[in-house]
Amino acid sequence: MAVPGGGAKDDSFNVLDLAEYTKNRPWWRKIFGPSSGSSAEKYNVATQLVIGGVTGWCTGFVFQKVGKLAATAVGGGFFLLQIANHTGYIKVDWNLVQRDMNKAKEQLKFHSSGNRMPPEVKSRVDEVIIFLKKNVILTGGFAGGFLIGMAS
């Protein structure tokens, strides 16, 4: 077959079995492509520290603000409940509270005696540990940035 440039067209094609190709690839490489390995493979140490530090600081700052808001809301709710109890709007049946607390303690003792992690949780924990080991510098930058963000 003639090609408009004057040369001959090569009709040979390579066949790629996508099922076999994707079996041994992690999910993030399926989505983001082959260049989405660990950051240690792509970036130098300074870049990893800056990326980790900035994302950690942002996360810490937001966590601090949301935490203050949540603490204020919960504390204010308890304060209003105490005022309502003190003025007589709320009457607490302490015997019922004690009975429910004892029931909850028994259930906690029963559930904590097994102390085995479900396999899906264990596999996710293993994935997180592997990620942290592969990206130690990025993780360290994130942790430092998180602490600075919490302090600011």
pLDDT tens-digit series, residues 106-135? 888 766 666 677 778 788 888 888 888 888
3-state helix, strand, coil in the chain (%, to 5): 75, 0, 25
Percent of the chain with pLDDT over 90: 29
**12/7: higher pLDDT:** 12
Q: What is the mean pLDDT of residues 71-92?
A: 91
Give the span between the Cα atoms of 78 and 66, in whole angstroms.
18
Greater confidence (41 vs 119) lies with: 119
Give the pLDDT confidence score for residue 66 in this predicted structure. 94
**Which string of b and e fits 77-86 if b means at least 16 CB within 10 Å?**
eeeeeeeeee
Q: Which of 39, 11, 66 is nearest to 138 (CA)?
A: 39
pLDDT at 22: 60
- Cβ contacts of 28 within 8 Å, gap of 6 or more: 36
pLDDT band at 99 (very low <50, low <70, confident <90, very high): very high
pLDDT at 135: 82
Give the tens place of pLDDT for each residue, 134-147. 888 888 898 999 99
